[in-house]
Structure 1
Amino acid sequence: MGLKHRLHNLRRRVFGSWSIDDPRPIQADAPYTYFLPSAERIAALLPGDLVKLVIRSHPPGPEWDAERMWAEVKNIAPEGWTGALANTPCDMPQLREGSRLTFQPFHIIDLIYEGDREAPPGLPRREYWDRCMVDSCVLDEGVPVYYIYRDEPDMGDEDDKYPDSGWRIRGDYRDLNDEQLHARKHDYIAIGKVLNADDSWLHLIDSPVGSAWLRNFETGGYEPLGDEDNHGDN
């Protein structure tokens, strides 16, 4: 560690502060890939349990602006919770293991009950980690989904953690010529990331292989296509 880095960390240790991020805006922007504990699970927490928080450094560190760390719950009160940091920060010298933290229930991004206590029952949550092929513009430019079809899965490897779903998703191409359409880049990613950008086709997610749908922007719905209408090679 260089002298400049050491001096920076010394100033942060003496004068630095910290805050806890509110994860709810992230969850709102990515509801199909970023999950938070349910209200029922948070309500069942007791002193001695562990909760994970996103703690942000002020000023930011040279390596990370924030770290996800565990804290042991010490006190639960309507005006706020307190806990003790259960990790040693990697790049946040203004905090150390055992530091006192104050936070709200909505700050919690994960939790572990002490001992053998089981989590309370909650509503089942479906996750969408299977892979699909999608036009990059849907993710990067906000181009709405226009045409979807489900092929026999053929993109994944047998060692992949998540399989290919077979879904192929095209962004709106009504104003493009064939050359422009073929020049589009594609991503092979989790279906949930596509749904974060445009979930207008969620109700079709379990359609069988061979299904094809075209979006009608006048009605907002998707219309089924037959083999003669298949746009998969466009």
Structure 2
Amino acid sequence: MSLPDGISLRDPRPIAAESPYTFELPHPEHVAAAREGDLVKAIFVDRDGAYDAERMWMRIENRTAGAFVGVLDNEPSDMVNLACGDPVTVPIDHVIGVFTGDGRELPEVEPRRTYWDRCFVDACVADGRCHADYLYREEPDMTEDGDKYLDSGWRIRGTVGAIAIDKENGDKPRYIAIGAVLNADDRWVDLVDRDHPCAFQWDEEAQQYIELDR
């Protein structure tokens, strides 16, 4: 693989496996459609850079059986060994984004379900220190003008013991993307689209959520 000395690429597949609800790899048909003049994005790492990694675009000049060959099309924020215009090679399985350079449409594919709407969640659940024990959906009331993502109305509580530890440590509930919560605990993913008002309690013996009256 041709990259400047000191530069490497981070494989995005383990990241997608660890955070499947918030890190989305491009559709294989979109990657397959990329051609000369198009842009593909990858995660570049500079052993001497100030940042852990930077996500940047490269412009395709050639495509081999397993990689895109071209030049970096971004100016790195703080890299020592890589600059805009440098030759780079990106394996096809390291691509995290595709953009057509001539404005043509990429192949139409089935839209993927996204989970960017916000919810309130106890820190212990968001951090994976306990499961979502009690959750309910109410009328959304946290969305403000200009917000890109809306309040879903979901409020997610952890176990009693874990919440007590949160209080001792000063860990307050968080207002974050539903997907970030599902990355930690997705046993309730089938409930995400239930309309409000609704409420559910985890039943340890039955190993499922029991719907409660609201």
TM-score, length-normalised on structure 1?
Answer: 0.81
Residue 85 of structure 1: CA displacement?
A: 1.3
Q: 1:224 to 1:80 in 2, by over 3 A?
A: same
Aligned residue number for residue 25 of structure 1: 14
Residue 81 of structure 1: CA displacement?
A: 2.8
Equivalent runs, 1:104-115 vs 2, <5 Å = 104-115=91-102
The 1-side partners of 2:65 and 2:146 are apart by 48
**Which of 86, 103, 107 is the matching residue for 2:90?**
103
Residue 224 of structure 1: CA displacement?
A: 0.8
CA RMSD of aligned residues (A): 2.1
Give unpaired runs (5+ residues) of structure 2: none
Matched, 1:64 2:51: yes
Q: 1:96 to 1:137 in 2, by over 3 A?
A: same
The 2-side partners of 1:202 and 1:90 are apart by 37
**Which of 132, 137, 141 is the matching residue for 1:154?**
141
Matched, 1:55 2:54: no
Matched, 1:78 2:62: no
Secondary structure of the residue aligned to 1:145 is: coil
Matched, 1:222 2:206: no
Percent of pairs identical after alignment?
Answer: 44
**Which of 182, 189, 196 is the matching residue for 1:209?**
196
Residue 82 of structure 1: CA displacement?
A: 1.3
The 1-side partners of 2:29 and 2:166 are apart by 48
The 1-side partners of 2:88 and 2:51 are apart by 20
Secondary structure of the residue aligned to 1:196 is: helix
Q: Which amino acid aligns with 1:187?
A: R
Q: 1:156 to 1:81 in 2, by over 3 A?
A: closer
**Which of 79, 87, 97 is the matching residue for 1:92?**
79
The 1-side partners of 2:192 and 2:128 are apart by 23
Residue 181 of structure 1: CA displacement?
A: 8.0
**Which of 152, 156, 180 is the matching residue for 2:164?**
180
Aligned residue number for residue 4 of structure 1: none
Matched, 1:163 2:150: yes
Choose 1 or 2 for highest CA Rg: 1
